[in-house]
Amino acid sequence: MNDFSDLLAANQTYTQSFDLAGFDGVARAGVAMVTCMDSRIDPLRMIGLHPGDAKILRNPGGRVTDQALVALVLGVNLLNVDRVLVVEHTRCAMASSTEADLRQKVGNAANVDASWMTLGAIDDQRATIINDVQRVRTHPLIRDSVLVGGFLYDVDSGKLEQVV
């Protein structure tokens, strides 16, 4: 399929039973999660939440990037967030290659030099989770009463382990 017609057809069906209208867009459960873009992760269902309950911020590796921090500041101050989960996962592609290997793979796939680009390979997941949680906790615009936890999600069992 080289166009979007299948997805737009599915959307047509979706609108027929659409039930998320008339909602102000706060995080109803007060939760924000930073996690990886990996398609094996279902961020809401893994913690028993539903659409409308949480702010979900995804990127390669589930990193607390500058942009993720902007979203968390907005979430905490304007959108009802009072708990933040930083969730990396097992068998993450970002944590199983070196930066050089990742650049090589991307460069080979694109058939264009990728050696100039920062892709963000993760050297030590647990250390990264601890550092990223610290970035959130120490942000001047995120109040101390906000709970911030770091977790590792097992893509084979669905289990979420708290690291920090």
Rounded to an integer, what distance in angstroms lies between the CA atom of residue 61 and that of residue 89?
8
Stretch that binds Zn ion, among 7-15, 28-36, 73-81, 152-160 (CB under 5 A): 28-36
DSSP state letters, 73-95:
HHHHHHS---EEEEEEETT-GGG
Task: Confirm or reject binding of residue 92 to Zn ion (CB under 5 A).
Answer: yes
**Amino acid (one-letter) located at 53:** D
Select from 34-42, 122-130, 140-148, 149-157 the region that touches Zn ion (CB under 5 A).
34-42
Rounded Cα distance between 84 and 75, Å, is 10
- Interface residue with Zn ion among 27, 33, 34, 36 (CB under 5 A) is 36
Q: According to the binding rule CB under 5 A, does residue 163 interact with Zn ion?
A: no
Amino acid at 43: P
Taking residues 127 to 146 in sequence order and writing x for each that binds Zn ion by CB under 5 A, - otherwise, the string is --------------------
Write down the least CB distance from residue 125 to Zn ion, Å. 10
Q: Closer to Zn ion by CB, 84 or 152: give it.
A: 152
- Using a 10 angstrom Cβ sphere, with 0-12 exposed, 13-18 middle and 19 or more buried, the burial of residue 3 is exposed
Find the farthest-apart pair of alpha carbons in the chain and give their distance in angstroms, rounded: 49
Which neighbouring-strand residues pair with 34? 57, 86
The piece of 25-33, 38-46, 104-112, 115-123 that touches Zn ion (CB under 5 A) is 38-46
Helices 125-137 + 66-78 axis angle, to 10: 40
Least Å from the CB of residue 89 to Zn ion: 6
Please, what is the minimum distance in Å from the beta carbon of residue 53 to Zn ion? 22
Taking CB under 5 A as the binding criterion, the range among 7-15, 36-44, 76-84, 151-159 that sits at the site for Zn ion is 36-44
* Interface ranges with Zn ion (CB under 5 A): 36, 38, 92
